[in-house]
């Protein structure tokens, strides 16, 4: 079955440590996205990528970094510069970044906590 796989489901970070969240899709989608979800808030865009080797900052990119070396993969690194990383992180993809009528498909998410 096609879909988006996020791993791990739960992740713990120590102070000063970088951690990487994995996102893989086998839907052959061009565009991929990373969102952060905090309690009582909707999803906020961290980064997005429309094609391989290209990505753009979203609304809250500070303290995060991404790469898009393969169409299927869009890993998110939470760096030590992100002072409040505890949140639920969702990865999404869509067929084309400019396909506005196309819904985004989501993974099951990764919950990141500080030790």
> Vertex 106, ends 51 and 38: CA angle to 5°?
110
- The tokens describing 100, both together, are 């506005």
Q: Closest separation between CB of residue 95 and other proteins, Å?
A: 13
CB 12 within 8 A of CB 79: no
Q: Nearer Cβ to other proteins, position 62 or 108?
A: 108
Q: Nearer Cβ to other proteins, position 2 or 15?
A: 2
Q: Nearer Cβ to other proteins, position 10 or 17?
A: 10
**Residues forming the site for other proteins (CB under 8 A):** 33, 35, 40-45, 48, 58, 88, 90, 92, 97-98, 100-101, 103-104, 106-109
Q: Nearer Cβ to other proteins, position 18 or 57?
A: 57
Q: Closest separation between CB of residue 90 and other proteins, Å?
A: 7
> Could you count the other beta carbons within 10 Å of the beta carbon of residue 5?
13
Q: Closest separation between CB of residue 97 and other proteins, Å?
A: 7
CB 71 within 8 A of CB 28: yes
> Could you count the other beta carbons within 10 Å of the beta carbon of residue 49?
21
């Amino acid at each position: 079955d096609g879909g988006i796989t996020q791993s791990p489901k739960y992740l713990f970070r120590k102070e000063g440590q970088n951690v990487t969240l994995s996102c893989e899709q086998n839907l052959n989608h061009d565009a991929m996205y990373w969102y952060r979800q905090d309690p009582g808030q909707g999803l906020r865009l961290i980064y997005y990528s429309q094609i391989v080797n290209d990505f753009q900052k979203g609304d809250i990119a500070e303290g995060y970094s991404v790469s898009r070396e393969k169409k299927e993969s869009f890993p998110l690194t939470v760096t030590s510069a992100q002072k409040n990383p505890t949140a639920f992180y969702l990865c999404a993809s869509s067929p084309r970044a400019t396909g506005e009528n196309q819904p985004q498909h989501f993974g099951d998410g990764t919950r990141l906590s500080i030790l």
